[in-house]
Amino acid sequence: MKNILITGGAGFIGSNFINYILQNRDDINVVNLDKLTYAGNLENLKPIENKPNYHFVRGDITNVELVDYIFRKFDIKYVINFAAESHVDRSILGSEIFYRSNVIGTNVLLEASRRFEVQKFLQISTDEVYGSLGDTGLFTEQTPISPNSPYSSSKASADLMVQAFHHTYGLPTVITRCSNNYGPLQFPEKLIPLMIINALNNKKLPVYGDGLNVRDWIYVIDHNKAAELVFEKGKVGEVYNIGASREMKNIEIVKLILKKLGKSEDLIEYVKDRPGHDRRYAIDSSKIQNELGWKPYYEFEEAIDFTIEWYLNNKSWWERIISGEYQKYYEVQY
């Protein structure tokens, strides 16, 4: 049995990962360490919460004593670090918690991993560390790191620390850098769920700037299958980009969602641009495809339908979220 510490496993991608991996494998014990910030939700893990090889610990990855205790108690030999403050707009409203959780938190996990002789440490990073592209070109693993937002700077700092631990101490680390995810269980602050939920509630759909910024979209299950493969077979010390080559302008996505829900484009409202808004992201994923044999499985057209369907069928999940603390954030942000 592999004893794996998965951090941030109650968030969007982490919970999809744990649900996926525990439904498919019996050769692993998963310890999920999550602080349950506004973005963490144990409801997300209902499908696997009673499995004997699943354990949940509520806590902060910056807590050195707690992290040490978990490594000792569960004999942790593998780490997958999903935990992070993940929303760019929130990092613009206040950056301190991003530095604390994303940089210091990763450092605490790395130090413990060194002490407890971890056999693989997977850092879940993002394409945003590369900065912004012009109209052409793709991010490769050789693209220089050049983050622009407090969020992406914190993720880039964490990546550099992960690489330093490999270089200096020989810690067997790997880093994945994935593009924009979408799918079930994504917190309503992010573009796709925000637009679905606002459209369903006949609320305005706030599009930043001219709406022509481009993101490269991947279904969360495709990201998670790639992450599992890198965790199992990725070469230590390496970085792997993950993306499904599905570039779209924000306004195209917003109009598509309105069309699928049978709502009027009059709901679109162009609002003030995000400060420092990255123009375009696009991923070259040929390294993971050629070296590890991964390729995306889901077409955008079908997976966006699953996603919209999921939000239609899980109203109580998001209604609880948007009626709580989220309302205050929404008022400040919009």
Residue 103 interacts with, from ligand NAD, ligand DAU, none (CB under 5-8 Å by kind): none
Site membership for ligand NAD, residue 31 (CB under 6 A): no
Task: Return the one option of ligand NAD, ligand DAU, none that residue 207 interacts with (CB less than 5 to 8 A, by type).
Answer: ligand DAU
Q: Which residue is nearest to ligand DAU (CB)?
A: 126
Residues that bind ligand DAU (CB under 6 A): 86-88, 126-128, 179-180, 190-191, 194, 206-208, 213, 215, 250, 274, 281
Query: Are the beta carbons of 107 and 161 closer than 8 angstroms?
Result: yes
Find which of ligand NAD, ligand DAU, none residue 247 binds, CB within 5 to 8 Å per kind.
Answer: none
Report in angstroms how near the CB of residue 28 gets to ligand NAD at its nearest.
19
Catalytic residue among 34, 127, 159, 247: 127
Of 31 and 88, CB closest to ligand DAU:
88
Nearest approach, Cβ of residue 124 and ligand DAU (Å): 9
Indicate if 151 belongs to the active site: yes
Interface with ligand NAD (CB under 6 A): 7-8, 10-14, 33-37, 39-40, 60-62, 82-86, 101, 105, 124, 126, 155, 178, 180-181, 187
Catalytically active residues, by annotation: 127-128, 151
